[in-house]
């Protein structure tokens, strides 16, 4: 029977192995495009950011080394990294099953979010999300992300009250179930933290 320490080491090894599969070309081109921030592709490429580097990037790194000065863009990138950590760096996990179904929005790319905006009859605003940094993980994991955040990114005029209401209702249907899962996940983290301590907890849950 494997000891807890051995299980922890296996989890760490598997995660780093998958992170190592993400080379800096993939991160700078594909990953940043999926995040909706391709404008940072060159700086990430120049810094040779691969999956292992992503795993250790901090807010301060983004602001000082990568010159990401837009606060929402910083939050967007950190949320996307958090998602990779939650999925143990399995970059394709769960995406195929929700490509044409409005399920599991936390794994949606920015392209999938734009498709959803078009599908809910807001296609005239959809192109405003290009290079905005709005993707599924930031929508679900960032507690400050709201219908107002989305409306602002879509550049919906403030006097379009019916459209704002429509967007609010559609986002509620999409995000509330996903955020409930996140809340449950957070409670599990809290319980494990209290029982076992921070380091063991973070490894056990694949963070």
**pLDDT tens readout for residues 81-110:** 999 999 888 877 788 888 889 999 999 999
In whole angstroms, give the CA distance from residue 20 to residue 23.
7
Please spell the DSSP secondary structure of 145-193, one letter per residue: --HHHHHHHHT--TT-HHHHHHHHHHHHHHHHHHHHHHHHHHHHHHHHH
Over the stretch 145-186, which tens digit does the pLDDT of each residue have?
999 999 999 999 999 999 999 999 999 999 999 888 654 444
The residue with tokens 């807890």 is: 4
The residue with tokens 């143990």 is: 88
Over the stretch 14-42, which tens digit does the pLDDT of each residue have?
455 678 888 999 999 999 999 999 999 99
Write down the pLDDT at residue 17. 60
- How is the chain split into domains, by residue range? 4-204
| Residue 201, number of CB atoms within 10 A of its CB | 18
Tokens of 137: 């993980």
- The residues, ordered by sequence, that sit 6+ positions from 29 with a Cβ below 8 Å of its Cβ are 38, 41, 45
CATH of domain 4-204: 1.10.150.50
Largest Cα separation within the chain, whole Å, is 64
Closest CA to 140 of 188, 109, 182: 182
Report whether 24 contacts 52 (CB < 8 A). no
Over the stretch 64-80, which tens digit does the pLDDT of each residue have?
999 999 999 999 999 99
| Residue 192, number of CB atoms within 10 A of its CB | 17
Per-residue pLDDT for 141 more than 70? yes
């Amino acid at each position: 029977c494997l000891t807890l320490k051995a299980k922890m080491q296996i989890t760490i090894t598997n995660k780093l192995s998958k992170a190592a599969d993400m080379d800096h070309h993939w991160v700078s081109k594909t990953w940043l495009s999926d995040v909706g921030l391709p404008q940072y592709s060159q700086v990430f490429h120049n810094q040779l950011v691969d999956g292992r580097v992503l795993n250790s990037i901090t807010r301060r790194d983004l602001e000082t080394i990568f010159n990401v000065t837009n606060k929402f863009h910083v939050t967007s990138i950190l949320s996307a990294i958090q998602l990779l950590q939650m999925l143990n760096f399995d970059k394709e996990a769960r995406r195929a099953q929700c490509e044409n179904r409005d399920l599991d929005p936390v794994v949606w790319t920015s392209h999938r979010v734009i498709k959803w905006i078009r599908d809910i009859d807001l296609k005239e605003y959809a192109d405003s999300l290009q290079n905005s940094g709005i993707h599924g993980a930031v929508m679900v994991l960032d507690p400050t992300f709201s219908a107002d955040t989305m409306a602002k990114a879509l550049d919906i005029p403030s006097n379009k009250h019916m459209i704002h209401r429509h967007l609010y209702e559609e986002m509620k249907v999409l995000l509330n179930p996903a955020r409930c899962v996140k809340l449950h996940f957070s409670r599990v983290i809290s319980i494990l933290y209290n029982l076992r301590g921070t380091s063991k907890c973070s490894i056990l849950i694949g963070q």
